[in-house]
Amino acid sequence: MTMPLDGIRVLDLTRLAPGPFCTMILGDFGAEVIKVEQPGGGRRAEMEREAQSQQESGLEERRRAALNAHSRNKRSLALDLRQPEAKEVFYKLARSADVVVEGFRPGVVKRLGVDYETVAKLNPRAVYCSISGYGQDGPYAQLVGHDINYAAFAGALSVIGEAGRKPAIPVNLLGDYAGGGMHAALAICLALLAREKTGRGQYIDISMTDGIVYLLAALVSERHQTGVLPQQGQYRLNGGVPYYDVYACADGRYISVGCNEPWFYENLCKALGLEQYAKEQWNTAKHPEIARAFAAAFKSKTRDQWFELMKPPQEVCVAPVLDLDELFADPQLLLRGMAHERQDPELGRIRQVGVGPQLSATPGSIRTLGPTTGQDTDAVLRGLGYGEEAIAALRKQGAVA
């Protein structure tokens, strides 16, 4: 079956969430992704091994790798880029690569000799993408950080959470996965499309902080239009109104309500037995009273009972707040293939999230499970023309593993 990125070779130098998520997307849609990993996995892998209570067996290591969705549809080449012989292997790969993705702190790839300028001399058609917290330039370029820090700088944390409470932390969805990985995958596809017109690759500078700000485009626009600065729990889309909030039910579980439109709001009031509020949606003076009434009503039934009462044909914008275990039993997600499962003869049942974008003619797919570090080193080297003696010599030097 034809896939959108068939024939595209990606060299993946990334380690943490945004880069591997970006290249997972590319791999899901047909790109050949080669993970260029440090032998042994580097100091982060060492830290993770130390945190484990006991040493993993080979089978346990393979199972952990197979369960890692970020590594699926990829091959692993263990290459110590600090060594000249390893750099030569990378340069051979770069000559035939379409995309290089790296996620180091600005300046690291230049010190290693695998930066965009070096790659572009070898291969002017290469698209080179750097993913970092704050971008390659500016006063914060060298500032270390993680998702929570980028979301803070971007202004997102200032509008997430309940009024009067400290900002809520939205896991690492905003910076790592949306503003970083997905933003980068989109940019790479745009650059590949541009290459069809120009014949040349280009450099992409992805800042996770920039990406989060980009996600806030509508909110920033509304702030400038209205002059009102959104606050935690006081904006119409962050819990500041009773018809767009989350409510506890009789079983301690939660249901989400998003009835912005008057017709949905009226249906909500009827379903809750609170018709007296059906025409009070825009009466802000009544909102505290309505919120208390909604909260009391939702406490009278379980989450799933309310959902059954309000789902079609009732036309109420509600959804149960599912945990991750419930997610993989949900009929909607099962139908759409978002709960992927396969049986491996040695590893047993392997479960992952499915492929998000649903293309009708050229769909993505999960073709291979994640490899252990260096699992494909010999195969990749043979593909570059290295013989068995040359591979053995590289391994003896520690350039590959």
Q: What span, in angstroms and rounded, lies between the C-alpha atoms of 113 and 74?
A: 24
pLDDT digits (tens, 9 = 90+) for 273-323: 999 999 999 999 999 999 999 999 999 999 999 999 999 999 999 999 999
- Rg of the chain's alpha carbons, rounded to an integer? 25
Selected catalytic residue, list 28, 98, 147, 176: 176
- Greater confidence (51 vs 92) lies with 92
Residues 138 and 187 in one domain: yes
DSSP 301: S
Where does the pLDDT of residue 47 fall: very low under 50, low under 70, confident under 90, or very high at 90 and above?
low
Q: Kindly report which listed range (34-43, 108-117, 228-237, 296-305) carries the lowest average pLDDT score.
A: 34-43
Asked if the model's pLDDT at residue 46 lies above 70, the reply is no
In this prediction the pTM is 0.94
Q: Are strands 348-353 and 339-344 parallel, antiparallel or unpaired?
A: antiparallel
pLDDT value, residue 206: 98
Alpha carbons 354 and 346: distance in angstroms, whole number? 22
| Judgement on whether residues 154 and 278 belong to the same structural domain of the protein | no
**Residue 189 in domain:** yes
Question: How much of the chain exceeds pLDDT 70, in percent?
Answer: 96
The pLDDT value recorded for residue 58 is 85
Q: Is 146 a catalytic residue?
A: yes
Report d(CA 187, CA 184) in Å as an integer.
Answer: 5
Residues 202 and 344 both lie in one domain: yes
* 299 falls within a domain: yes
Given a contact cutoff of 8 angstroms between Cβ atoms, the answer to whether 122 and 92 are in contact is no
pLDDT range class, residue 57, cuts 50, 70, 90: confident
Specify burial of residue 285 (Cβ count, 10 A radius: 0-12, 13-18, 19+). exposed
Q: What is the structure's pLDDT at 50?
A: 60
Mean pLDDT on 20-35: 98
What does 220-261 look like in DSSP terms, one character per residue? HHHHHHH-----TTTSTTTTSBTTEEEEE-TTS-EEEEE--S
Residue 157 included in any domain = yes
Residues 266 and 314 both lie in one domain = yes
Which residue type does 351 have? R
Q: Does a structural domain hold residue 192?
A: yes
pLDDT of res. 227: 93
Binned at pLDDT 50, 70 and 90, residue 40 comes out as confident
Tell me, yes or no, whether 88 lies in a domain: yes
Do 102 and 183 have their domain in common? yes
Give start and end residues of each alpha helix (H) in 97-164: 108-112, 116-122, 147-153
Task: Indicate if the pLDDT at residue 48 is higher than 90.
Answer: no
Strands, DSSP E only, in 281-372?
A: 318-320, 339-344, 348-353
Q: Is 70 a catalytic residue?
A: no
pLDDT value at 335 more than 60: yes
- Mean pLDDT computed over every residue of the chain: 95
pLDDT band at 41 (very low <50, low <70, confident <90, very high): low
Same domain, 143 and 270: no
Give the number of domains in the chain.
Answer: 2
What pLDDT, on the 0 to 100 scale, is given for residue 259? 98
Tell me: do 263 and 289 sit in the same domain.
yes
- Domain extent, residue 296, equals 244-248+254-320
Do both 120 and 29 map to the same domain? yes
Q: What is the CATH number of the domain that holds 362?
A: 3.40.50.10540
What letter would DSSP give residue 40? G
99 & 154 share domain: yes
| Mean pLDDT value across residues 195-224 | 97
> pLDDT tens, 89-147?
999 999 999 999 999 999 999 999 999 999 999 999 999 999 999 999 999 999 999 99
- Whether 57 and 206 map to the same domain: the answer is yes
pLDDT of residue 86: 98
- Answer whether residue 239 is part of any domain: no
Q: Does 56 have pLDDT greater than 80?
A: no
Domain match, 303 and 156 both: no
297 and 391 fall within a common domain: no
